[in-house]
Amino acid sequence: MKNFPKRNSAPINGIAELAAQEGVREVIEQFRRDRQWINEQHLELCRIAAPTFFEAKRAEWMLTRLRSLGCDAKIDRAGNVIAFPGTPTTGPYVAVTAHLDTVLAPRRPEEIYIEGDGRMHGPGVADNGSGLVALLAIAKALQKAPPLENTSASIMLVANVGEEGEGNLSGMRYLCRQSALGPKIRSFLVLDGPSVEHITSQALASRRFEITFQGAGGHSWSDFGIGNPVHALSRAVHLFNSHQASKPAMLSRTSHNFGIIEGGISVNSIPSSALAKLDLRAETQGALDDMASLLTECVERARDTENAAATVKVSAKIRDMGQRPGGQLPETSPLVNYLRSIDAFLGIRSRIDCASTDANIPLSMGLPAVSIGTGGSGGGAHTPAEWYHPDGRDVGLKRIFLALALLLTE
C-alpha cells in the first residue's frame, strides 16, 4: 500500500491506487459478498433492546460476534465493547466507533422487521443499527483479507454506550479521558446513521437542563389561589419560546427543545410539582451561554408572576443535566481532505456539517475526528417509525474503509 505523506489532500489518483491494493481490494470485495450476512446481523442486533443506560445485553451480543470474527475483544469499565482485529498491538490506534444505545427501544423483537422490498422498520434500525453492523462488516472482511501494508497504526473497533439523550456521551468520555487506551488513539471515525452526504467535522455544543417547580398542592376548588407549579412551568416555557422566536437572526444557528413535561396526579387536584427537561444547542459557545442565561431569567420571571397573587407560593429549581462540548476540525485538515478526495473518487456529493455526536469529545480535545454515515438510506430517527434500506450500503462501507486505510498509513 502506498504510504501517503502527511499533507492536506489525497488526490483522486492516489485513492484509485489505494483502492487497487490487494488488502484494500479484498476487504471491499468482501463487503459485497457479505451483503446478506450483514443484513441478517443488522436485524438480529436491532431486536436486542438497548435504550440508554441499558445497553449491556446488546454489548454482550456484540462482544460474542466480534470474538467469533477473530477479534481480541473485551468490555471496559464504562460498558463499551473494545475490539482489535487480528494480532493485538500496543498502538497507536485509529478508532472506528458506533454507539450501542437507542432513543427508543422495541418492546418485542417482532417490532423490528423487514418488508419484502428489503426495508427494515423499527426503533434504532438506522440510528445506530447501521453503524454497529458496519463494525461487524469491517471485522469480518479483515478476517479474510490479506493484511494491509505499510501501516503505522492499528485498528480499534468500539461499540460504545451512552451517546443518546441523558447518556451525555458517557462511553466516549470514558474512552478518551479515563481509559488507558485513550492517549493511544490518534484519530476517530465515528459511524452514526446511514447518510453518506455529510462529513461532520464540527461538534455542535449542547446543554441539557431539568426545571422543577414545587408547591403545596391541593383541591382544585377549595384550595384555588395557591401557587400552581404547572401554571408556572407553562409560563416559563412560553416566555422562553417567545424570547427565542423574537430574537433577530443570529450569526450562529441555535435550537431548543422541551422534550419532557410532567406534573399533576388528577384533573381536579392542584399539582404539588411540575418538571420539564430541555435541550439547548448552538454552533458557538457564546450563543449557548446566552440561551442558558435566558432560561434562568424566564424561570425566575414565571415563578415571580405565579407567586404575585398566590396565597401559598411555589419555588423553582434548575438542574444542569450535562453538556456536550464543541470543537471543530479546520476544513484544511488531512482527515477532512481524505474524505473529500474519497467522495470525489466514489461520486459522492458530500458537505461539511455541524452536529452533536460522539465525535464531540475527541474534537473538543483537539483530536482528529469526524462522524460519517455507513451507507444505505433511512429516516424517522428517534421515532417509532424509524426505517433503514440497505441499498447503497456497499458504497458507505467502501468509503469508511478507504478513509480508515489512509489514516492507518499516515
In a shared domain, residues 319 and 342: no
Q: Are residues 164 and 277 in the same domain?
A: no
Count, residues in the chain: 410
Got the DSSP string for 346-388?
HT---EEEEE-STTHHHHHTT--EEEE--SSEEE-TTSTT-EE
pLDDT digits (tens, 9 = 90+) for 346-380: 999 999 999 999 999 999 999 999 999 999 999 99
Could you tell me if 387 and 403 are in contact, meaning their C-beta atoms sit under 8 angstroms apart?
no
pLDDT band at 10 (very low <50, low <70, confident <90, very high): low
Tens-digit pLDDT profile for residues 35-54? 999 999 999 999 999 999 99
**How high does pLDDT run on average in the chain?**
94
> Domain span at residue 19?
12-203+326-408
DSSP assignment of 96-130 equals: EEEE--BSS--SSGGGSEE-TTS-EESTTTTTTHH
Q: Are residues 33 and 161 in the same domain?
A: yes
* Residue in 100, 204, 190, 128 with CA at minimum distance from that of residue 370: 190
CA distance 342 to 361: 25
Which of these, 165, 149, 254, lies nearest to 208 by C-alpha position?
A: 165
How far is 69 from 66, CA to CA, in rounded Å? 5
Return the higher-pLDDT residue of 284 and 172.
172
| CA pair distance 42, 46, nearest whole angstrom | 6
Would you say residue 117 has pLDDT above 50? Answer: yes
Residue 2 falls inside a structural domain: no
Asked if residue 225 and residue 82 are part of one domain, the reply reads: no
Is the same domain home to 55 and 160? yes
Residue 269, domain CATH: 3.30.70.360
Q: Which residues have a Cβ under 8 Å from the Cβ of 89 and sit 6 or more positions away?
A: 154
Instruction: Report the pLDDT value the prediction gives residue 1, as an integer from 0 to 100.
Output: 34
Domain-terminating residue out of 287, 304, 324: 324
What is the percent of the chain where pLDDT is above 90?
A: 90
* pLDDT score, position 251: 63
Q: Which of 5-19, 48-62, 210-224, 252-266 has the lowest mean pLDDT?
A: 5-19
Whether 3 is in a domain gets the answer no
Report the relative pairing of strands 154-160 and 93-99 from DSSP bridges: parallel
> Is 72 within the bounds of a domain?
yes
Q: Which of 324, 347, 363 is the last residue of a domain?
A: 324
Do residues 169 and 251 both lie within one domain? no
Do the domain assignments include residue 17? yes
**Shared domain check, 300 and 237:** yes
Same domain flag for 243 and 272: yes
CA–centroid distance for 339 within its chain:
19
Report the domain count for the chain.
2
CA distances (Å), origin 163, targets 72, 98, 356, 370: 24, 9, 10, 15
* Residue 177 CB contacts under 8 Å (≥ 6 apart), including other chains: 361, 365
- Gap between the terminal Cα atoms of the chain: 12
Does 1 fall in a domain? no
Structure confidence at residue 149 (pLDDT): 81
pTM above 0.85, yes or no: yes
CA distances from 261 to 90, 142, 180, 220, 295 (A): 48, 47, 40, 20, 16
Q: What is the pLDDT of residue 353?
A: 94
- pLDDT 10s digits, 228-243: 999 999 999 999 999 9
Residue 318, in any domain of the structure: yes
Domain boundary among the residues 324, 352, 369 is at 324
Asked if residue 345 and residue 291 are part of one domain, the reply reads no
Note the pLDDT tens digit of each residue in 73-104: 999 999 999 999 988 899 999 999 999 999 99
| Share in percent of the chain as helix, strand, coil (round to 5) | 40, 25, 35
Helices (H) and strands (E) in the chain, counts: 11, 19
Sorted by sequence, the CB contacts under 8 Å of residue 68 that are 6+ apart come out as none
Does 209 or 285 have the greater pLDDT score? Answer: 209
**Minimal CA–CA distance to 375: which of 357, 397, 349, 359?**
397
Indicate if the pLDDT at residue 224 is higher than 60: yes
Whether residue 330 is contained in a domain is answered as: yes
Instruction: Give the model's pLDDT for residue 323.
Output: 92
Side-chain-side CA neighbours of residue 358 (13 Å): 36
- Tens digit of each residue's pLDDT (9 = 90 or more) over 259-298: 999 999 999 999 999 999 999 999 988 999 999 999 999 9
CATH code at position 148? 3.40.630.10
Confidence of residue 5 (pLDDT cuts 50, 70, 90): very low
The answer to whether residues 367 and 320 belong to one domain is: no
Bridge partners, residue 187, by sequence: 94
